[in-house]
Every structure is written in structure tokens, then in C-alpha cells.
Structure 1
């Protein structure tokens, strides 16, 4: 549940005073962010993403919209021989992420927007995104997809999880709310695969399931063609 965006009327209407959406929505809520995301099932989602990625040793891994770095750290724990970087535009969230890796090597955090990544072409073997895409405004999503394609090596993969996919009212109260949520509208149905394929990815749905507090979460694997 890592959020990042450029400020737009939608986020201004939410009271956001930054040019990004803070990790917890508002700076004042940041101390509760890790607890909140745990209650919402983020760790279960992170475990699934890492399992689906089947991380190889001696590779480079990037997480976009890393928030306080929980998934970034979990990726490093899962593959200690990888070089892992987490990015987010929220400096307060990144300060908390830095405290989680104090004294560790092969893992770091950098401030960046996912639609303007400060890395050379073909820099990474894997990119992770968890609960971030639906917080971006529609006009920013194609730029994000293009940037992820650019920084992945040929054959590299994006592993993405977000609220979306084939949501229906039968999925429960949280999903019914998401069906009416303007943030999630671009994620419904085949919205995410269409976005990623338009950028040049080969994309497939890997898994989908209902999480009590957030509704249907769908997992995607998008590969940069070799």
C-alpha cells in the first residue's frame, strides 16, 4: 500500500499539500502506517508477490512507491544476494524505511517518482509495485508504465498487485466500495493489463483474491520482451 503521485485536483481535494500523496495519506498518520497496512493485509500481499517473482541471486530489484520499505526489505530478506532499491517521493516515509535497514548492505532507498525514475535503461531484473497504481491519476499511468519498461532489462519482470481486476458486488462490502471509488476505476476489469501492454509489456494475471478490508486484489506479471 505504497502511494505516489504528482499533485492534481483529485489529490488537492483530499487536502494533500504536497506534490505527492503521502504514504499514509497525510503526514500526521505516518506513525500508524505500518500497523494500518498490516491490518489491511499488506504482508500477505507482499509474500505472494515475492513468491510469484521467484527471485534469483545476484540480480537487481526495484520497488516503486515503497512507502516505509516493508516490501523492499522483504525482497532483500528473500534474496540476500540481490541488490535492492526502494523509491518513493515521500521523504518522511523514506526516513522510516532507512531506519529499517540500518547497518545492512545491498539495500537502499532513494527519493523518486515512478514516472521519472533516476536510473539508466535496463538497470533492473525485477520491479515490484504494491497497492500504488490506483493512487495515480490517469494521465500519469502511461508514463509510469513506460518508465518501468525502460529500466527493466530485456526479459525482466514487473510484479504488481493492486485493488482491481474482475471486481463484483459479490466480493463483499469493501469491493462494492471500490466499484464506486474513482481512484480504482482504471484498475477494473482488464484496465491494468491494457495499460501495461500498451507500454510494450507482455502481461498476464497471476492470481486474484478477496481481502476482507480492501476488496479484490489482483496480481499481475508483466515481462519486458527479450
Structure 2
């Protein structure tokens, strides 16, 4: 992919890169509809609020986990051009779309294939981790491992900025309709338990910074977490 920045160097090997994952719209063949659907859903506004929360600074290395077609990652680079923007995702087709979009917009980003549960980066190599509706794509029994990976790659003083389905009854039902047929449980995605998940995985301070409601996904929450 288009490695045109000096972000954290991927490890030599990424074990499990070919294992099963849940695509952005639940089915790989729906990928061409992903960007039109996110525009229709108004996801750009959600991303903007998350980036306002992150307050990116020049010289920082910013990693988006589950970057998909690159919408949040490219917005981060446009918001803070002097930051190093890195995205990781298991979906090669989505990464290819992100690469094409970055080239069209003249944005230098690093795109790598990998899974949230086994990030292909060294310890203490990232200042800011962004996550937008990613955790509910990780199987419930691997979510804590994924969050531990965030703790591992964050530098001292770094932070995770996350937005995801809050998982109240209304949001839980919406999310399950969108992911029917998959074994990925959203049981942990209630407001009370997602902060607990982050703390169990090694984050010392977890703050819910805001929330919203969307008719297609239900309630969602913004969180900031530091080790």
C-alpha cells in the first residue's frame, strides 16, 4: 500500500493476516456501497467530533485501527498535515480504495494490513489511536486483546479516542440487524461495560466525552482513554 510517510514500521511478519474478519458492511461484495452509505448516514460529522476531541498536534503519529476505505484517516491528515497518519485494516480491497483516495487528494498516509488483535507495530510507537465503530467488528472473546494491543503501541502520554455503538437495547437491536448471520457479539457494548473493558485491558483513565443517537445504529458513545 502507499507507504509515503515515516510512520511506525510494520513488523516483518503479521501472523493471522489472512484469518476471517467482518467487513465494513458485513459482506465483502457491499464494499462499493460503503462510502455512499457513510455519506448518507452523516458519518463525517461523527468523525469531525472525534477529531475535535483528539486535537491532533504537529509531529504526532496517529494510528487508525480498522481504517477501512480511509475516511477518518484522511480527515485526520487534512486536519493536521504535520502529523504522521497510519491506517491498519484486514481488508485489502478497502485499503486499496483508501490508497486511491489518498493519492487523488495528494495526502501522504501509510496503509498496512493487519488485525486489531495483533497490531503490526512496535511497542510505544504511536501517540494517538483513533477508532470509529471498529470494536463491534471484533469477536467478543478477542475484544480485550485488541484493546491491550492499543495500550501496547501507545507511547507514554498517548491516548485512544474512540466512538462506537453504546449498546443500549435500541442500539443493540439496530446493530444486530446490520450484522445478522455473524457470530460477533455486541454484548459488551453497553455504556457501563465498554469503559470497564478498556480498564481491564490496561487503560487507567477512561472518560465518556459525549454521545449521540442515529436511527440506523442507535446510541453511540465517544470515549477518551489513557494508560
TM-score of the superposed pair, with normalisation by structure 1: 0.83
| Distance in 1 separating the partners of 2:115 and 2:19 | 13
The 2-side partners of 1:180 and 1:123 are apart by: 35
From 208, 211, 215, the counterpart of 1:212:
215
Give structure 2 stretches of 5+ with no counterpart. 1-15, 178-183
Distance 1:105 1:69 in 2: 11
Go from structure 1 to structure 2 and tell me whether the alpha carbon gap of 1:179 and 1:135 turns closer, same or farther (over 3 Å shift). Answer: closer
Deviations 1:25-51, CA, capped at 9 Å, x for gaps: 222111111011222232111111100
**How far, CA to CA, are the matches of 1:196 and 1:145 in structure 2?**
6
| Counterpart-to-counterpart distance in 2, 1:179 and 1:53 | 26
Q: CA deviation at 1:18?
A: 6.2
* C-alpha RMSD over aligned residues: 2.2
Note the C-alpha offset of 1:133.
Answer: 0.7
Deviations 1:126-164 (A, max 9, x none): 000001111211111111011000000111000010111
Specify every segment of 5 or more residues in structure 1 that has no aligned partner in the other structure, as ranges: 1-5, 7-16, 170-174
- Alignment map for 1:25-174 (pairs within 5 Å): 25-102=26-103, 104=106, 106-164=108-166, 167=168, 169=170
Alignment-derived partner of residue 173 in structure 2? 177
Correspondence for 1:223? 226
Contact kept in structure 1, 2:140 and 2:186, CA below 8 Å: no
CA distance in 2, matches of 1:20, 1:210: 26
Matched length: 204
- Secondary structure in structure 2 of the residue aligned to 1:187: coil
Note if contact 2:62-2:86 (Cα within 8 Å) is conserved in structure 1: yes
Distance 1:53 1:147 in 2: 19
Superimposed CA distance per residue, residues 142-193 of structure 1 (whole angstroms, 9 cap, x where no aligned partner) = 110110000001110000101116x355xxxxx3624877732211131110
Judged with a 3 Å threshold, the aligned counterparts in structure 2 of structure 1 residues 149 and 47 are, in CA distance, closer, same or farther, namely: same
